[in-house]
Structure 1
Amino acid sequence: MLNPYDEIALARAIELTEGGKGTVTIIHVGEISSEPTIRKALAIGADDAVRINAAPRDAYFVAAQIADYAKDKGFEMILTGRESIDYNGSQLASMIAEFMDIPSISIIKKLDIDGNQANLIREIEGGKEMLTVSFPFVASCAEGVAEPKIPNMRGIMSARTKPLEVIEASSVEKLLDFKSYSIPAPRGSVTMLSADETEKLVDLLHTKSKVI
């Protein structure tokens, strides 16, 4: 599925390029099984896509792959969602910017273009922060930047023929090894007692909970 926060970023990118003001390229790190998700992004309105053929093992790896591809392509801005809905790391945008040595603005709520720069707003504790940044830059998008778009039939049909380039991943140092995943043990059952069952409460605390 397409990450909902990425859908917000995609929607704003499409709005900013309406009327021939630019193009929107999807850069995705994933294996062939992810291509239906890419095609959905193309159906929504992106112009073309690149799939970097590798399993997205962590944010560092994904950011390195995107930055390596984007570094010489002349993109004015790179937009991501504020976070993924599986790991909720909020790391990708800042890592891409660090790899590319360009500005990064996180969790923006508004994005407008003014000539050769962008005006952005993000919420901070106690208010809002207004920022101006020159191209190129990276920004992660939160709710409010745009409304997600639903692909129409014309978009779905055109997505089938839009360019989707597949390239091999570049070599990236492996910083993490995931040893295992586990599910927390289920919590115990709850016993409900009325206010006058004090003797039973004491008995349960002694025999079951072992606290007295």
Structure 2
Amino acid sequence: MTNTHCLICHDIIQPSIGWISIFSKEKELLICSICEGKLEKVEGETCRICSRPFQFLDERFKHDDLCHDCKRWEEDIDWNGYLTFNHSIFTYNEFLKEIIATYKFRGDYVLSRIFAPYLINYVNKLNPDLLVPIPLSEERLYERGFNQAEALIIESGLISSRLLTRTHAEKQSKKSRSERIHIPQVFKLDQEMDVKGKSILLIDDIYTTGSTLRHAAKLIKGSGAQRVHSFTLAR
């Protein structure tokens, strides 16, 4: 048996030995149990729209089944109802922050293999018509060499639909919530792709304020899509 190394820490993975592993089909081992244990899954009660966990959220920022941020988005007539639901897998802790930095900024494309099974599982449940990666600006794409959202789709063996292109290059992470809401539309839609009546799944790495995903959802739904969901690795 050849040794398998963890894609994160690069240590040799020690497979568990027992009745289950002996009699079940062995899944591909990509990360060790230590690294897997450092990933915090989004669990328990969450916001109906953005997947924000309610477990440690102050009651002042919880409004029935919505978090405070989503309540404000939904109360704004310019943004109400565009994003149906965002499904996030993990909380954005320091460990995942480092993984995503390695993935995005240091060009470690292979890390997309770790998260591919989660996307496949969600796509099988949702059965969307199109999987649309959130695009990078030309400048960011040149810097990184690949779009991490599209890499996740491709590594999952799924078809990526380049429905959107980015028209606004400035990083939104530097902006306040108000600035993010009021900037002009940051995406452009490929007019040759028909989205009328279709279910669209947007793919991105992190859900922070939801501004990027809502800009994309607003454009797509305004062009006739039936519903727009999103999938992100981290919340």
Give the strand-richer structure, 1 or 2: 1
Of Structure 1 and Structure 2, which has the larger fraction of its residues in helix? 2
State the TM-score, normalizing by the size of structure 2.
0.29
**TM-score under structure 1 length normalisation:** 0.31
